[in-house]
Amino acid sequence: MIGLSARKDKLRAEDYQTKRKGAFPNADLMSHLIELSEKLRVRFVKVKAHQNLGNENYNREVDLLARKNVRRLVDRGS
């Protein structure tokens, strides 16, 4: 998702289609994410996979937080 804001105009112009005019994976989610990012102040941060700093595994922690928030939103019906 890094760089999504720079690509949003092109994605919209091409109706979320690939160069070969195939469906862009998760086009509906990308469209919704772009809409939300225009309404909210959002900053995307790349987290390297399997990066261990001492006893910390930030990738695992990010995954757990993301899953927890998705479950919370699903339970709320959003």
Q: What is the pLDDT along the chain (78 residues), one digit of tens a residue?
A: 677 778 888 888 888 888 888 888 888 888 888 888 889 888 877 766 666 666 677 778 888 898 898 888 888 765
Residue 13's CB is within 10 A of a number of other CB atoms, namely: 9
Range of the domain at 42: 1-46
Q: How far apart are CA 64 and CA 61, in angstroms?
A: 5
Residues 33 and 1 in one domain: yes
- Tally of helices (H runs) and strands (E runs) in the chain: 3, 2
The answer to whether residues 45 and 51 touch, using CB atoms and an 8 Å cutoff, is no
Residues 40 and 77 in one domain: no
pLDDT the model gives residue 49: 67
pLDDT the model gives residue 4: 77
Residues 51 and 71 in one domain: yes
Residues in the chain: 78
pTM above 0.75, yes or no: no
Residues 25 and 55 in one domain: no
pLDDT the model gives residue 50: 63
At residue 63, what are phi and psi to the nearest 5 degrees? -60, -45
pLDDT the model gives residue 68: 92
